[in-house]
Amino acid sequence: MLSTSTLLEGEHLNKVWRGMAQVPGSTEPALPVIVKWTDKKEVIAAELACSLAARAFKLQVPAGVIVLAEKGDLPGLPLRVKGANTDLVICFGSELQWPDDTFARPSKSDAAEEWIWQRICDTAQGPAGGVWDELVANEDRHCQNVVFDGHRWWLIDHEHTLPAVAKVMRRFAEQVARQAVIEHAASKNALAVEVARRRPNDHQMENLPEVWTRARGRLQWLADQAQHWHTGWGHVDTILMMTHVYLRSIDLRLPALALHLERRLMKPEKASLWSSYSNDQTPRGKTSRRPPA
């Protein structure tokens, strides 16, 4: 993090700042970023994994980075953090997407929220975002974590994705733990529900799982690469290890996405397939077919 950042107001569960960040030792210009502090490493890992996985599916999620910041450059940082021994804190950063001048953050009014839901649902980002939130089990999509830049809508804030992963992180290699990750469904998916309600005949969300499966090779490549990321600094490397687990989890859930979405949209469905997923996520008794990269 370069210089002092600006603390942002709003309904944030964690402190959020706007500032400039640069790769250590790089001569490239610094990038404007939104920085979030949290004392939970798994939250940073989930955010980073979602930003990476979304790129594999060409979704509008800002690029994410791990940010090291000096405490004095984050005004409003909780005092208990300031009292710790180290001078640096680890944060999650996402590339800043500037809101369009005509776009204002919604106030707590039905009219403002209706305006935003209608606008995003009318675009291609609406259905794609609804399916994405189902894939990562994100139940915290609301009108303050979408951003319109004048051309496209961006999905931000993935702090509450895949809570089942955090519960089984230490025993992720066990099949029973992976099955729990596959089966987990968010209690709600606001964007998918809004899209289905406003565009009942043309949202085509049910087509996206097959499209994304064809792009699965990119996601698996990212997960393979993440397994080898390391910096030599234990606290950061722990987050990178967790990021790998989250990426693997998103890949594990992809074959079951169509069924999750079918249930979310309350369409007629076949008998449950959960018990039929084996280690390679193919139904028992059927031939495993690896989707093309």
SS (HEC) of 72-114 = HHCCCCCHHHHCCCCCEEEEEEEECCCCCCCCCCCCCCHHHHH
- 146, 204: one domain: yes
- 120, 211: one domain: yes
Domain enclosing residue 170, as ranges: 99-276
- 67, 121: one domain: no
Q: What is the pTM of this model?
A: 0.86
On whether residue 163 sits in a domain, the answer given is: yes
Rg of the chain (C-alpha set): 20
On whether residue 249 sits in a domain, the answer given is: yes
pLDDT of res. 84: 64
- In DSSP notation, 125-177 reads HHHHHHHHHHHTT-----TTSEEE-SS-EEE---TTS-HHHHHHGGGTTSHHH
- 135, 262: one domain: yes
- 125, 198: one domain: yes
**Rounded-to-integer distance, Cα 210 and Cα 196, Å:** 18
- 122, 253: one domain: yes
Identify whether the C-beta of residue 135 lies closer than 8 Å to the C-beta of residue 109: no
Cα–Cα distances in Å, from 183 out to 11, 40, 178, 213?
31, 24, 9, 18
- 70, 110: one domain: no
Identify whether the C-beta of residue 53 lies closer than 8 Å to the C-beta of residue 133: no
Sign of CA dihedral 249, 255, 256, 262: positive
- 92, 216: one domain: no
Cα–Cα distances in Å, from 210 out to 79, 170, 254, 266?
48, 31, 9, 19
pLDDT of res. 280: 46
Q: Which residues of the chain have pLDDT under 70?
A: 10-13, 82-85, 101-108, 267-293
- 138, 238: one domain: yes
- 75, 108: one domain: no
pLDDT of res. 138: 96
- 5, 122: one domain: no
Residue matched to tokens 């699965």? 216
Sign of CA dihedral 11, 246, 183, 117: positive
pLDDT of res. 270: 42
* Count of domains forming the chain: 2
pLDDT of res. 207: 96
**Rounded-to-integer distance, Cα 185 and Cα 139, Å:** 9
**Rounded-to-integer distance, Cα 110 and Cα 238, Å:** 42
